[in-house]
Structure 1
């Protein structure tokens, strides 16, 4: 039996959670047995490094193809992360913004994508977008598939959709909703947002929970503590995330300041926090740490390909995100390793964590999150037995709902139905 060709397209300037999900897809045993998988992506140095690192780690010989497309996202990100004055940053961005608004990027990308699809002639196209509308090239990919009469298109949306900003956006959504066979979300809240915010057909949207691979660690907790000069009884909190406002690091830092200033000398002595990742808010966060004399408690590792080592080393995994989450892969990785969790409760996080059973959920409201973070951290520190129970339950939840096998079966069914045409079976998911 000849395998059907699946072309996965993704566009992101960082190799983050939703991008790693596509690498997990490429390495899924069931999907590889049934389909011929290829990953196409807009090439960025950090993305390629992360992708190749994961593929080597898992011994996967995947077909990967960079595509030359035009976009301002990566350029604007580099400008935002620079040390230039804010007005200079805006001035540099203006001409590139105008060129994009004139439609030059759109026309260029359409011709590139059409040529790419004509060459590859996939049976199924799986578009992976960080959110919606997200990367413009994702919708452009859908348009090109329609032009070439490729009907088996599944479209993954990894964050909560934004409302449309114009009449043109609503018209564009109608085209995308018509041409796509099925949309995939990891959480019910993301599914509802596509319906309520973008008016997509509810019968076309399926929920398939994300998955992660259980990775072998290269460096253990003892080595990480020794390298940092920390004692064995260190109470270690770890967050693995892009350093940006929506990930809520500033609220964690404020909570740590309150803990330090409170009457809790034992916790203050043992507490250490590792922020694993980089991003546009790195300078702001480091400035807050310096201004509030938190250098003895908070440490920035930068981007690390071995982030799993830090998750495995932690006493508690913490994710105080405040917006634009669906089903964070770093959270699933911590669950897979049996780590107790503290996280804000919304979107797919609410479906993964049951408060008091396999983690602690806190509010993501700006006026509540700091106090609740402080309380949850103290509670975890004072209850080691509870931490152990929460960790065991987190691992059990992962095995029941987020395993690689379950992910592969659900996606395989959807691919098959897209080839057959017709509606999506109501009880397929």
Structure 2
């Protein structure tokens, strides 16, 4: 009989959803996989293998004491009902609820994957202090904590004092063949020619992210304005793919900056290879980043990248070798990097080539799944299961 693994996550789109989708599809062969997540988790609706059962679980992203209390006991019932052998939690919130539920139901092994950084420097000392104390206690009941980058691992060890033997780094991985073999992108000629002079064709710069503060889209817009101020013929166009709570304020910012003819919001993009392959330059403007899956995807389709030097990004982008690094939360530095790349086609091509090779060698879904499967086997065999 197959061992049963349950993945638990909060409402997500983009990177975390793609990460869990890949694991579920690949791990489901030697194991039986279940996923507990909110019903509106769109990425998981695309699961290709129908035998993966998705269990509705209304886990909120923010702290909600009464709802969280109920969810702890509801999840413990799920663990018992489906006779789960290993619980794999994704993110801090799922980690909090899931580990409490595991202790209540029965003593099953727990794996926690952390995808992003936690802000330890709170304005109020008490919430940060409470989080640190709770996490230290729960970490003792966690068989393994996975971080998606070395920077995230080091941050976790230094801020929470968790034993190093409990923490492993497993890089995010993508479907390299799917992205590297993609040739034809969707038509963006109307975007290239839109503006003051419809006879002028220019370069297209794009970003893709959830429209939330940590993703730095505000910085990208200011940098875009700075680039346009030096672009006399207004040949450069800027695309932003993604949805999120800041969309309206970002669109208002574009209008106030007078860039509505040059900056376009595309909303949620269903076909990311198609979108990325249509760009001349990809920009990752994040202020905080564990290890960006979208950045890996852009490199895999052989796009040159400008990325902020934050979190795990330098583990992917080596400045001047696989991309161009700029300071985080610094639109002037970002604008300088964008201008340098747009003005040098040879540089764009050489960085894109080396970036694609890096992804092929180090950041494939096969490598991520292989290391995760080996971890499961080690934990389950250690318990004599």
For 1:400, what is the secondary structure of its paired residue? helix
Task: Tell me the CA shift for residue 224 of structure 1.
Answer: 2.8
Q: How does 1:103-142 map onto structure 2 within 5 Å?
A: 103-129=65-91, 134-135=92-93, 137-142=94-99
Q: CA distance change for structure 1 residues 397 and 114 in 2, over 3 Å: closer, same or farther?
A: same
Q: Which residue of 2 aligns with 1:82?
A: none
Cα–Cα, structure 1 residues 40 and 21, in superposed 2: closer, same or farther, change >3 Å?
same
- Whether contact under 8 Å (1:26, 1:62) holds in the other structure is no
Instruction: Please give the alpha-carbon distance, in whole angstroms, between the structure 2 residues aligned to 1:183 and 1:382.
Output: 43
Match of 2:277 among 312, 319, 327: 312
1:245 shift after superposition = 1.9
Cα distance in 2 for residues equivalent to 1:232 and 1:127:
51
- The separation in 1 between residues aligned to 2:226 and 2:8, in whole angstroms, is 45
Write the deviation string for residues 90-112 of structure 1: whole angstroms up to 9, x where unpaired: xxxxxxx8xx3xx4223311221
Q: What does residue 123 of structure 2 align with?
A: none
> What is the deviation of 1:39?
1.8
Is 1:36–2:32 an aligned residue pair?
yes
User: Which residue in the other structure is 2:264 paired with?
Assistant: 299
For this pair of structures, how many residues does the alignment match? 372
Which residue matches 1:388? 349
User: How far apart, in 1, do the equivalents of 2:32 and 2:222 lie?
Assistant: 49
Structure 1 match to 2:218: 250
Could you say which residue in structure 2 is the equivalent of 1:417? 378
| C-alpha distance in structure 2 between counterparts of 1:396 and 1:373, whole Å | 24
Alignment of 1:261 onto 2:229: yes
User: SS of 1:275's equivalent?
Assistant: strand
Residue 174 of structure 1: aligned partner? 136
The 8 Å contact of residues 158 and 327 in structure 1, kept in 2 or not, is answered as: yes
Aligned to 1:282: 247
Is contact 1:154-1:182 (8 Å) kept?
yes
Partner SS, residue 352 of structure 2: helix
Matched, 1:151 2:113: no
Cα distance change on mapping 1:219 and 1:294 into 2, 3 Å: farther
Measured in 1, the distance between the counterparts of 2:350 and 2:183 equals: 25
Question: Does the 8 Å contact 1:221/1:313 carry over to 2?
Answer: yes
Per the TM alignment, residue 232 of structure 1 is displaced from its structure 2 partner at its CA by: 9.0
1:280 Cα deviation after fit? 1.6
Q: Does the alignment pair 1:27 with 2:25?
A: yes
Q: Which residue of 2 aligns with 1:94?
A: none
Structure 1 distance, partners of 2:61, 2:322, is: 41
Rounded to whole Å, the distance in 2 between the matches of 1:232 and 1:387 is 21
Do structure 1's residue 185 and structure 2's residue 147 form an aligned pair? yes
The answer to whether the 8 Å contact 1:7/1:37 transfers is yes
Residue 327 to residue 141, structure 1, CA distance change in 2 (3 Å): same
On the 8 A contact 1:158/1:185 being kept in 2, the answer is: yes
1:195 to 157, 168, 178: 157
Distance 1:331 1:6 in 2: 29
Matches within 5 A, 1:347-426: 347-364=311-328, 366=329, 369-421=330-382
Conserved? CA contact 2:87–2:111, under 8 Å: yes
Aligned to 1:125, the other structure's residue is in SS state strand
Q: 1:72 Cα deviation (Å)?
A: 6.8
Contact map agreement 1:239 1:318 (CA 8 A) in 2? yes
Q: TM-score, normalised by structure 1?
A: 0.81
Unaligned runs of 5+ in 2: 121-125
Partner of 2:81, secondary structure, is: helix
In structure 1, list runs of 5 or more residues that go unmatched. Answer: 74-96, 423-429
Matches of 1:356 and 1:390, distance apart in 2: 7
Distance 2:206 2:192 in 1: 14
- Kindly indicate whether the alpha-carbon contact (under 8 Å) linking 1:11 and 1:138 is maintained by their aligned counterparts in 2: no
Indicate the SS of the match to 2:131.
Answer: helix
Deviation (angstroms), 1:15: 1.5
TM-score, length-scaled by structure 2: 0.89
The equivalent of 1:5 in structure 2 is: 4
Per the alignment, in what secondary structure is the counterpart of residue 122 of structure 1?
coil
Write 1 or 2 for the structure with the bigger share of helix: 1
* CA deviation map 1:60-93 (0-9, x unaligned): 33513233436474xxxxxxxxxxxxxxxxxxxx
